[in-house]
Amino acid sequence: MTKLIIQKNLVLSLCLFTKKTTIPFVIIIDELDCVIRNSDDKELVHSYLQFLHSLFKSEESKAFLALGYITGILPIKKIKDESALNNFREYTMLKSKPITKYYGFTEEEVKELCKKYDMDFDSVKAWYNGYLIDGIHMYNPNSVTQAMIDQDCDSYWRNTSSFSSINTFITMNYAGLKDDIMTMLAGGKVMVDTRSFQNDLSDIHSKDDAFTALIHLGYLGYDADRKSATVHYPDTVTKFF
């Protein structure tokens, strides 16, 4: 009840402020999916989605909202066959155009960094040339930055919070998941259907869900050129196991 009151008070305050000043709000939220990734409390997640709905999609929000800009590791959580926030233009690891080049460091950017910090480009490429999106070789910006600062190539990405998800998915072993991982580690590719994933790490029910989650988390490469999608381990991921 308290959460609902706070939510209504916030929306009312935004409406009143905009009415008084005639200046609408631009709302920016980073790590939108933090609650969904880190909580198994379904009631909390539901309340959180209702809160986002009140900010971005309610009738009241039309009165105070000029623009909403949100980022997160996972796409917006789906509810059944729809999304609570399906009025956003969404860019993901699966559909990144036209902002693909901003998903990480491009090869040209990494070459310039290697020159500036006197690092061997071939070594950096072997470590961090993680995935190919729309024909652009994309490098992990966190890992490249750390490598430049430390003057040493290492698996910096494994220290992030989402890395623990990999072991969880592997132990599930849905329909031969472990076997497929071995295939990928050996350089092969496996089929994956990305359509069933509900963008919720606590709602994994199949091998396809697990692989799709790992694609969005950046641990798997993804080839969307074929009608049947495939996944493969980027060079960087093979060093994490």
Element (H, E) at 78: strand 78-79
Confidence of residue 238 (pLDDT cuts 50, 70, 90): very low
C-beta separation of 131 from 138 below 8 A: yes
Residue 45's CB: how many other CB atoms inside 10 A? 17
User: For the whole prediction, is pTM greater than 0.95?
Assistant: no
Nearest to 132 by CA among 101, 158, 160: 101
Residue at token pair 């090869």: 107
What is the β-pairing status of strands 105-106 and 82-83?
A: unpaired
Q: Mind listing the pLDDT tens digit for each residue in 81-130?
A: 455 677 888 888 778 888 888 888 999 999 999 999 999 999 999 888 77
CA–CA distance, 95 with 156 (Å, rounded to integer): 26
Q: Mind listing the pLDDT tens digit for each residue in 211-227?
A: 888 887 777 777 766 64
